[in-house]
Amino acid sequence: MTSSDAVSVTPTLQFDHVEVAYTVRGIDRPVLRDVSFSVMPGEAYGLVGESGCGKSTAAYAALRYLPRNGKITGGQINFEGSDLVSQSDEAIRLLRSKAMSMVYQSPIAALNPSLRVGGQIAEVFTIGGAGKAEAHERAVAALNKVQIADVGKVMQRYPHELSGGMAQRVVIAMALATNPRLLILDEPTTGLDATVEAEVLDLVRTLRADSGTSVLFISHNLGVIRSMCDRVGVLYAGQLVEEGNTAQILNDPRHPYTVGLLRCIPRAGLRKDLHRLDTIPGSLPPLGTVITGCVYADRCSIATEQCRTEQPPVVQLVNGHSSRCFHPDLAPDLPRNTEVTTVEVVTRAPDTEGDLVTLAAVSKTFGKDSSTVRVLTDIALSLGAGETLGLVGESGSGKTTLAKVLLGLTPPDGGSIVQLDGKALGATIAGRSAADVGAVQIVFQNPDSALNRRHAVRRIVGRAVVKLGGATKEQGNAKADSLLSEMRVDARLHAAKPVMLSGGLKQRVAIARAFAGNPRLVVCDEPTSALDVSVQAAILNLLVDLQRTENVSYLFISHDLGVVRYLSDRIAVLYLGRIMELGPAETVFSGPHHPYTEALVSSLPSIDGEATNRVRLLGEVPSVANPPSGCVLHTRCPRRDGSGVEELCDTVEPDLVEVEPGHLMRCHLSLEQLRRLQVAVDVLM
């Protein structure tokens, strides 16, 4: 750590060769190894890495709030120059209540479910010695600061009555209530919608600019890190492998791990048919492994004998950029693990023979009589064989319900048309033939929930073969073995239960099951959102390969627009159960797009740091039970004001019309009008 330019300034937080270990079954297992970094006053420092690399441990160590079996076994953690490790518990408590605070990943879990929000915020001030009335007043002020609209009402609510974004604002308000000098944010937007994420990040940015608070920002999302942080440290297996300012790390990475990680990410401009994602071989060493050489040597394609036996030094590059590698100069040209491209162009012209799946006038209403909620309204879609349709929209937009209707898990309203190969599909599973059920399958979001933990992997897949293909048990198991091997699940694991597999392997099993009944359409419901990026890349590659060999169609649901853009031929944008825009992926992304799509796209934090036109949706998603009149977006539309058709927007619902060949939009504004507005902003930025 060369404190080159800032000799006189004391860092707000400084890790000095910190070692942290967890005691598991009587043995100390190191989780942080020789970690050194510092967060300067007013600086935002990002820690990135995949799950299990020690990010959160670093955060807890900074607050000296490790789990009971965790301890700091070496080094110093300095807060404004004084060592935290040696201080008394009482002194630490005081520091935590006044000088530093933390925002956790799950805001709902961070709030006490049985107390009203207002009381919980006020408590922060009463602990600080304020009277009841004063505490209340300051709580109101704190909520105002995080831009909550109806503060009085929000104070009276219980945490479960808040949306995720609102709850995170409340948590941030509590964290900032005491004007801390250090704010630690641990994955604060993971699990939030992209639009909400953008708002929360905007808020943190504004508050930081106002207060000058130092921020330690922990995230696995490099796009978020790019938009939030001045400097970044990359953690791998508890070691800081690379450090530098954000642009250096993301544009010119000098550690093989960082290079590999960046290549795994499907970013703008990459397409499934042109650019195969790179993957990182192997996996994180298990917690507590004794490592003699470089922590990354086992997975590094340029590792030498020296890397396996000797700890690499921290090599200083230019301007505070450092890499813990013997060969930082070779890292940018790291050989790929997958071929760069494998092009037989997959992008399909819409099938002239007729579509594989046709949806027309599909609606779904829950409840009956007076209390009905219409979650899908008049959906019309078609999907060609071998085509991927991306389905995007905020949570509550009806994505999952649409998937369930297709699968036959939820019957649509009468009059809805769901066809496969031109023949009507039964509304429920019971009304479909085994072949039809097998033809439409799903890969669920969370493999832990989707695989029965009591059953062996072979049985999970084999049973599907038996039931959907009419095979005997022996045939089913044999087919299961070959399917699993095809998904590259090692033969030795076919008899294993899901617990023994990593997240990526579990998802491979789930994919094998979906392919057991010779599917024509596979619904992918956020299949990679629970996985790390390097694993995600491997799964996405597998899906692309399967599509090529099996000519299967995908309905790909995801909130990760980068992934959707990479994988989809066409994209449908859903809002409050209606298709707002439908068109070829690149057209939908590059614009001119529907105002709602525009807001979604501009909320996507980009790793490449290109200027995005920052259009934000106003307010919260209206309730599906009580959708706004006219165009359902008009209450939040970024383009309504000054469009000249406000009256129309508020009263008449626009139809989904073809604005250019193959590109449908539900908006009163003309394509030309949108193009002008959207270009204008791009220029302005």
Partner 1 sequence: MTSVVNDAQVNGAPASDGRMRAEQEAKSRRNERIRFLLKKPSFIIGSIISLFWLACAFFGEAIAPQDPFVQDPINKLKEPYGAHWFGTDNLGRDVFSRVIVGARLIVLVALAATIISAVLGTILGLVAGYYKGKVDEVIMRTADVFMSVPTIVLALLITSSVSSKSMWVVILIIALVFTPIVARTARASVLGEAELDYVAAATLRTEKTPHILFKEVLPNVLPSLLVEFTVRLGYAIFAIATLSFLGTGVSPESPDWGTQVATHRGFLNGLNVSATLFPALAIASLSIGVNLLQDALSEAFER
What does the binding site for partner 1 look like in residue numbers (CB under 8 A)?
22, 24, 29, 279-284, 286-287, 298-299, 337, 407-409, 429, 434, 437-438, 441-442, 444-446, 449-455, 463-464, 467-468, 488, 490, 492-493, 496-497, 499-502, 504-505, 508, 513, 516-517, 535, 538
Least CB distance to partner 1 at residue 510 (A): 8
Dig out the tokens for 189 from the structure. 């937007």
Q: Look at the block and give the residue holding tokens 């979001």.
A: 445
Least CB distance to partner 1 at residue 122 (A): 35
546 within 8 A of 378, measured Cβ to Cβ: no
Q: Which is nearer to partner 1, 505 or 604 (CB)?
A: 505
Q: Which is nearer to partner 1, 77 or 552 (CB)?
A: 552
Least CB distance to partner 1 at residue 320 (A): 33
Least CB distance to partner 1 at residue 666 (A): 31
Q: What are phi and psi of 202, to 5 degrees?
A: -55, -45
Q: Which is nearer to partner 1, 270 or 542 (CB)?
A: 542
Task: Name the DSSP letter for residue 603.
Answer: T
371 C-beta neighbours (distance < 10 Å), count? 8
Q: Which is nearer to partner 1, 368 or 492 (CB)?
A: 492
Buried b (16+ CB within 10 A) or exposed e, 322-352: bbbbbbbebbeebeebeeeebeeebbbeeee
Q: Which is nearer to partner 1, 275 or 455 (CB)?
A: 455
How far apart are alpha carbons 271 and 220 in whole angstroms?
A: 22
Q: Which is nearer to partner 1, 506 or 639 (CB)?
A: 506
Least CB distance to partner 1 at residue 500 (A): 4
Please provide the DSSP assignment of 610-636 as one string. Answer: ---------SPPPPTTSPPSSSTTTTT
CA distances, 675 to each of 337, 613, 641, 680, 681 (Å): 41, 13, 16, 8, 10
Least CB distance to partner 1 at residue 643 (A): 43
Q: Which is nearer to partner 1, 423 or 453 (CB)?
A: 453
How far apart are alpha carbons 540 and 445 in whole angstroms?
A: 13
238 within 8 A of 52, measured Cβ to Cβ: no
Q: Look at the block and give the residue holding tokens 């007043």.
A: 137
Q: Which is nearer to partner 1, 423 or 454 (CB)?
A: 454
Dig out the tokens for 346 from the structure. 């997959």
Residue 466 three-state SS:
helix
Least CB distance to partner 1 at residue 503 (A): 9
Least CB distance to partner 1 at residue 298 (A): 7
Q: Which is nearer to partner 1, 243 or 278 (CB)?
A: 278
How far apart are alpha carbons 28 and 69 in whole angstroms?
A: 9
Query: What does the longest C-alpha to C-alpha distance in the chain come to?
Result: 77
* Angle, vertex CA 247, rays to CA 600 and CA 562, nearest 5: 25
Least CB distance to partner 1 at residue 460 (A): 8
Q: Which is nearer to partner 1, 18 or 537 (CB)?
A: 537
Q: Which is nearer to partner 1, 499 or 679 (CB)?
A: 499
Dig out the tokens for 542 from the structure. 């597998």
Dig out the tokens for 106 from the structure. 């799950």
Q: Which is nearer to partner 1, 448 or 672 (CB)?
A: 448
For the chain, the distance separating the N- and C-terminal CA atoms, rounded to the nearest angstrom, is: 37
Which residues contact residue 609 at a Cβ distance below 8 angstroms, ignoring those fewer than 6 apart?
226, 247, 250, 251
Dig out the tokens for 36 from the structure. 């050194």
Least CB distance to partner 1 at residue 438 (A): 8
Least CB distance to partner 1 at residue 425 (A): 13
* Angle, vertex CA 54, rays to CA 227 and CA 111, nearest 5: 70
Least CB distance to partner 1 at residue 67 (A): 11
Which residues contact residue 670 at a Cβ distance below 8 angstroms, ignoring those fewer than 6 apart?
659
